[in-house]
Amino acid sequence: MKIAVLRERFEGESRVAATPETIAKYIALGAEVAVEKGAGEASRLSDDDFQKAGATIGATAAATLKGADIVLCVRRPAADELGGVNKGALLVGALDPYGNEKDVAALAKAGVAAMSMEFMPRITRAQVMDILSSQANLAGYQAVIEASKVFDRAMPMMMTAAGTVRPAKAFVMGAGVAGLQAIATAKRLGAVVSATDVRAAAGEQVESLGAKFIMTEALKDASGTGGYARELTKDEQAAQAELVAGHISKQDIVVTTALIPGRPAPKLVTKAMVESMAPGSVIVDLAAERGGNVELTQPGKVITHNDVTIIGYTNLAGHIPTTASQLYARNLLAFITTLIDAKEKKLAVNWDDELVKATVLTRDGAVVHSAFAAPKTDTAGDTEAKPAPAKKPAAKKPATRKPAASKSTASKSAAPKADPGQAGETKPAPRKSTARKPATKAAAAEAGPQADAPATAPAAKAAAAEKPAARKPAAKKPAARKPAANKPAAPEGGDK
């Protein structure tokens, strides 16, 4: 049983699908592992590290894939890049099938069994395999770090001999996995944090992290199925807009994370709201990959408008690739372990297992996932009912793979800067609304959404009060706000 780990070819993708830690475990399960040369470089994992863990290094993709029974990847490789794998080999990764149906069909034709990790059901057994949660958690953290890099003031309150500096005000919109981690991170850095969500249950989670929950009376609870939010009615949207407009103008840092399964990201921050913010304010739009929560967001880019910086990076977890790879690789290991008979040391996929059924896109030369398979026609010519595919978000990232890096000027609306780390990112697959347990406490953001047992509110508070995370290099910016005219251009994209 051979497992192949590919070097990622997607422009700007810095993660890798296996680490020395997971490779050692695959080998213990009876697999031989081949890693393509240089696969871990961007995550600071050398070929030597992989070899020490027991892997062989393939000089080329072809050499790595030859005779493979399982191929591990972060991004979906093209079908024609998979030559040499065994018939029926498993391809496991974040395959991003929505909007890429032709590529999925090509994978079917190539004879591989493609398994899309984004479709992992959010049930207790599969929490450890939930790549959306592990990566969203990191993205929420990184969003605040990115904001702090361009924010030209200190975040915490500082009482010094020269006087007191007020703490920054941070506002998080959407308190799911990413949002809760953004709240916790902003708290750790000393900001005064408020947050909003349309699910009433999020209120308790936000407050357990020591942040203030903001919600309009007009919007009681917009919880949808499976712990996700539903789309708001027009009246609810208007009430929310009024609430946000009144609050956002007093904020220094805004992190938006609001998503609705299978829908484009709701637009929550209008141009006028951006213009109401003070010069030097920063917005990080974590929903950029699904069109953005901010009217002005440009996916994959950093822009400034009215001296407000809007960061639209679409793969923020990829900005901390070493940690992101570590968690992603563990998610994959946990799933692959269920597909192997460790005693017999061979692949033993139970195609009836709910995790397999939920994730498998192609098998035996056909597209089999209900969201993508062509409806079967019976003899009478009727079509078999199948669930409607989740709607693709309207705003898709441009397909260009070249970062259009350009230095911004201090003009009112600076030229957008591409994020090389994001260039050419495709949008992630809209999430499947599968049944899962909503986390009961915000501490999920601290323990990681992988943690089975919800932490208690005090635990969350304690975690939030931890010592501040390491700050960006000091002395980068003066504490005092610069006059708008002197404001430096927004940072280069792709700052890692």
Give Cβ neighbours of residue 61 (< 8 Å, ≥ 6 apart).
6, 7, 36, 81
* Closest separation in Å from C-beta 358 to ligand NAD: 13
The answer to whether residue 266 forms part of the interface with ligand NAD (CB under 6 A) is yes
Toward ligand NAD, which CB reaches closer, 35 or 184? 184
Toward ligand NAD, which CB reaches closer, 55 or 198? 198
Toward ligand NAD, which CB reaches closer, 134 or 325? 134
The answer to whether residue 174 forms part of the interface with ligand NAD (CB under 6 A) is yes
Q: Which two tokens stand for residue 208?
A: 């357990």
* Closest separation in Å from C-beta 398 to ligand NAD: 23
The answer to whether residue 438 forms part of the interface with ligand NAD (CB under 6 A) is yes
Toward ligand NAD, which CB reaches closer, 261 or 424? 261
Toward ligand NAD, which CB reaches closer, 267 or 369? 267
Task: Give the span between the Cα atoms of 1 and 349, in whole angstroms.
Answer: 13
Q: Output the CA–CA distances (angstroms, integers) from residue 354 to 351, 363, 432, in the order listed.
A: 8, 16, 14
Torsion on CA atoms 321, 142, 459, 254, rounded to nearest 10: -160
Q: Which two tokens stand for residue 434?
A: 């599968």
Toward ligand NAD, which CB reaches closer, 420 or 449? 449
Closest CA to 227 of 375, 433, 69: 433
Task: Give the span between the Cα atoms of 259 and 253, in whole angstroms.
Answer: 19
In this chain, which stretch among 141-149, 185-193, 226-234, 275-283 interacts with ligand NAD, using CB under 6 A? 226-234
For residue 352, the one-letter residue type is D
- Transcribe 134-172 into DSSP letters: HHHHHHHHHHHHHHHHH--S-SS-EEETTEEEPPPEEEE
**x/- track of binding to ligand NAD for residues 343-382 (CB under 6 A):** ----------------------------------------
Q: Which residues are catalytic?
A: 122, 127, 130, 133, 228
The answer to whether residue 317 forms part of the interface with ligand NAD (CB under 6 A) is no
The residue nearest ligand NAD at its CB is 176
Binding to ligand NAD (CB under 6 A) within 114-153 occurs at: 122, 127, 130, 133, 136
The answer to whether residue 175 forms part of the interface with ligand NAD (CB under 6 A) is yes
- How many angstroms separate the first and last alpha carbons of the chain? 37
Burial class of residue 130 in the structure, from the number of CB atoms within 10 Å of its CB (0-12 exposed, 13-18 middle, 19+ buried)? buried
301 beta partners: 418
| Long-range CB contacts for residues 453-458, cutoff 8 Å, separation at least 24 | 457/204, 457/207, 457/208
Residue with tokens 């936000």: 206
Out of 183, 254, 268, 284, which residue is the one contacting ligand NAD (CB under 6 A)?
Answer: 268
Out of 99, 156, 227, 279, which residue is the one contacting ligand NAD (CB under 6 A)?
Answer: 227
Give, in degrees to the nearest 5, the angle at Cα 15 between 11 and 17.
120
The answer to whether residue 177 forms part of the interface with ligand NAD (CB under 6 A) is yes
The answer to whether residue 220 forms part of the interface with ligand NAD (CB under 6 A) is no
* Closest separation in Å from C-beta 449 to ligand NAD: 4
Toward ligand NAD, which CB reaches closer, 127 or 298? 127
Contact between 33 and 27 (Cβ < 8 Å) = yes
Toward ligand NAD, which CB reaches closer, 125 or 357? 125
Q: Is 67 left (phi over 0), alpha (psi -120 to 50) or beta?
A: left
Length of the chain: 496
**x/- track of binding to ligand NAD for residues 40-79 (CB under 6 A):** ----------------------------------------
In this chain, which stretch among 9-17, 37-45, 257-265, 409-417 interacts with ligand NAD, using CB under 6 A? 257-265
Out of 97, 176, 300, 428, which residue is the one contacting ligand NAD (CB under 6 A)?
Answer: 176
* Closest separation in Å from C-beta 324 to ligand NAD: 16
Number of residues that bind ligand NAD (CB under 6 A): 35
Task: Give the span between the Cα atoms of 248 and 169, in whole angstroms.
Answer: 10
Contact between 17 and 74 (Cβ < 8 Å) = yes
* Closest separation in Å from C-beta 134 to ligand NAD: 10
Give, in degrees to the nearest 5, the angle at Cα 178 between 444 and 20.
80
The answer to whether residue 444 forms part of the interface with ligand NAD (CB under 6 A) is yes
* Closest separation in Å from C-beta 123 to ligand NAD: 7
Closest CA to 354 of 367, 338, 341: 338
Out of 1, 33, 61, 198, which residue is the one contacting ligand NAD (CB under 6 A)?
Answer: 198
In this chain, which stretch among 52-60, 366-374, 392-400, 432-440 interacts with ligand NAD, using CB under 6 A? 432-440
For residue 437, the one-letter residue type is K
Contact between 349 and 93 (Cβ < 8 Å) = no
Contact set with ligand NAD (CB under 6 A): 122, 127, 130, 133, 136, 173-179, 196-199, 202, 227-229, 232, 257-261, 266, 268, 431, 436-439, 444, 449
